[in-house]
Structure formats: structure tokens, C-alpha cells
A and B are shown apart, each in its own frame.
Chain A
């Protein structure tokens, strides 16, 4: 765990060094280290696969444009997540028809097994997660689907480890309630 953290740290240093030297291979390195986590985070914010992919592209374009600031960032990981968050929020502001599209483009969770039943369950889970407050959803998504510790989640979201933990507990509580409601609706 600690070794992994150190590896990440040295990778961050390498990325920032490349950015400082104006070497565009830094973009590929950022992709290799952060693309999955950033996409997961953006999907959580936007609840839409297409919007999240567009936001990821815009995030990388912004990184390329503001590379000197990225190179000077004190801690790369929180900086990148903050940057992608700002991109996502701008996108939300711009997109006036987002709510209408949301229901059609929600497929951001993929079922592990290929059956009709699991597809239905995935849709229900997506809907239940989408109705959570964004802050709680972010913690659950990063915890379950990106295997992050509360400490890492806190670092990404700019909150303490305890806050991340309590958001997780409240999120779980609310998710259980939302899922139960959806199940009841289906049975009725």
C-alpha cells in the first residue's frame, strides 16, 4: 500500500517534470495514471457516459493549455480532480437540456454478468446512485469502483478522512433506502 503510494508520488513528480520541460508525453503519462479515476469521478458528477467522456476530453485539453500551472501544482492528484470538477460544473451550466438527456444516457455502470436480470439490476443501481447527493455519491463510487481508501478519497475531494467516512455511511444509508423504494415501485 505504502509502496504504491510512493510509486504514485514519484509518477506525479515525473509528470510535473515533463510538463515543466514542455514535453507533451506528459499527457500520455497522465492518461495512464489518472484517466480511469478521472472518468469515474466525472461519471459520478454528471451521471452520463457521454457528458463524462466529453468532460474528460475537455479536462485533458485544459491540462495541455494550462500546463505551466499544472507543473507548479503542489499536489498533482487533487489538482487534476479539481480541474476536472470545474470542467464538469461548466458543462452542467452550459448544458440546458441535460436533464432531458440524462435518462437516455445514464449507462455508466456495466453489469458483470450478461443477463437480462443483471441489466435490470444495474439500471436500478444507476438510478439509486444518481438520486444520491453528489458528495455522497462521489465517495461511494470512488470506494466501490475505484478501490480508494477514505484517505485517498479525502485527498481527491479536498476533505478529511473522517468526512469521507461519514459521507460514505450516510450515502450507504440513503442508497439502501433508494434501492428499496425502487424495488417496491417495481413490485407494485
Chain B
């Protein structure tokens, strides 16, 4: 039984009975003529290509990034439009709440719904603060005047 080293030695000896093809002088002539010809015909590579290409690549990347952001924003708006609070939502919401409220509370509730529904449309800090203040006021008066419909029914 031969060991691994003996096997390797035998195989190495077999491999060494041959040698690898070496480039002939004819091949050298052929290759170098073709390469020198290519060198002459191609001339010196344009200097601008060294900086021109990276700049072009950068511009293309920026354009693509802007396009992606625009696309994402468009998709976001498109997918969330149907969930945005509209007057129609307000009507349906107030419709269900209306059933639980006594008449003098309905106006207050409606105003509160309109105020919160329209909230995202105003952007200035001052108007936001004003709205928060109004909502606070509304909630306070709501708490003050609140009549539990269940209790009032039982009474």
C-alpha cells in the first residue's frame, strides 16, 4: 500500500515527463506585430476620458436617485390618498357619533372633527399652535358640558 507522499511523488514524476508549450518565435512576431499595430491605430487615449467618465457617472447616479425619490413619493401619495381624512369621512364619522350625542353637543363635535381633519393642511407653526389651543378649549368645554347618554337615558 503506497502512502500519500509516494503517490504524489509518482504523479509528479509523471507530470515532469512533459513540459508546457512555450511561445515560439513565430508566435512572438505575430503577437507583437498585432499589438504594435493596435498601439499605433488607437493613439493616446483622450485625456478627458480620465475625468469625464466619473463625472458622467456621478451625474447619472444623481439623476437616478432623484427619480427614485420622486417615484417613491408618488407611490406613497397614491397609496395613502384613500386613507386621508376628507369631508366625506368627517360626515360618516360624525354620523355615527351623532347618534350618541345630545343635540347641543353635536355642533362642538363637528367643529372638533373638522379642526383635526384639516390639521395636516396648515403648515405654519403659528396656525398649528392656534389650532391646538382651539382643540384644547373645545375639549375642555366638551368635558365640562358632557352628559353621559347612557346615564341620561336611564334617568
Instruction: Answer whether A and B are interacting partners.
Output: yes
| Chain A interface residues toward B at CB < 8 A | 22, 24, 27-28, 31, 35-36, 39-40, 43, 49, 52-53, 56-57, 60-61, 63-65, 67-68, 107-113, 118, 121-122, 125, 140-141, 144-146, 172, 175-176, 179
| Chain B interface residues toward A at CB < 8 A | 7-8, 11-12, 14-23, 27-28, 30-32, 34-36, 38-40, 42, 44-45, 50
Contact indicator A31/B11 (Cβ below 8 Å): no
Contact indicator A61/B11 (Cβ below 8 Å): no
- CA of A36 to CA of B32, assembled, Å: 14
Contact indicator A27/B23 (Cβ below 8 Å): no
Contact indicator B23/A36 (Cβ below 8 Å): yes
Which residues of chain B are within 8 angstroms of A146 by Cβ–Cβ distance? 20
Contact indicator A39/B22 (Cβ below 8 Å): yes
Contact indicator A43/B21 (Cβ below 8 Å): yes
- CA of A65 to CA of B19, assembled, Å: 32
Known: A57-B34, A64-B42; 16 extra A-B contacts, CB below 8 A, are A53-B23, A53-B27, A57-B27, A57-B35, A60-B31, A64-B39, A67-B45, A68-B45, A110-B20, A113-B17, A118-B18, A121-B17, A140-B15, A144-B12, A176-B7, A176-B11
- CA of A64 to CA of B17, assembled, Å: 37
8 Å CB contact of B21 from A39, A61, A118, A125 = A39
Q: A28-B32, A61-B34, A64-B36 are in contact. Are A141 and B20 (CB under 8 A)?
A: yes
Contact indicator A179/B42 (Cβ below 8 Å): no
Mind listing 30 A-B residue pairs with CB under 8 Å?
A31-B31, A36-B23, A53-B23, A53-B27, A56-B23, A57-B30, A57-B35, A60-B34, A61-B34, A64-B35, A64-B38, A64-B39, A64-B42, A65-B38, A67-B45, A108-B21, A109-B20, A110-B19, A110-B20, A121-B14, A122-B18, A125-B17, A125-B18, A140-B15, A144-B12, A145-B15, A145-B20, A172-B8, A172-B11, A176-B7
- CA of A161 to CA of B120, assembled, Å: 63
Contact indicator B20/A40 (Cβ below 8 Å): yes
- CA of A109 to CA of B21, assembled, Å: 6
Closest CB of chain B to A188's CB: distance in Å? 20
Which residues of chain B are within 8 angstroms of A43 by Cβ–Cβ distance? 20-21
- CA of A164 to CA of B34, assembled, Å: 34
Chain A residue with minimal CB distance to B22?
A36
- CA of A175 to CA of B36, assembled, Å: 40
Contact indicator B17/A111 (Cβ below 8 Å): yes
The 8 closest A-B pairs by CB, nearest first: A145-B20, A60-B35, A64-B38, A64-B39, A109-B18, A64-B35, A68-B45, A61-B38
- CA of A39 to CA of B50, assembled, Å: 31
Closest CB of chain A to B51's CB: distance in Å? 13
Chain A residue with minimal CB distance to B49?
A68
Q: A64-B38, A67-B39 are in contact. Are A57 and B31 (CB under 8 A)?
A: yes
Contact indicator B23/A39 (Cβ below 8 Å): yes
Q: A35-B28, A52-B21 are in contact. Are A27 and B12 (CB under 8 A)?
A: no
Which residues of chain A are within 8 angstroms of B22 by Cβ–Cβ distance? 36, 39
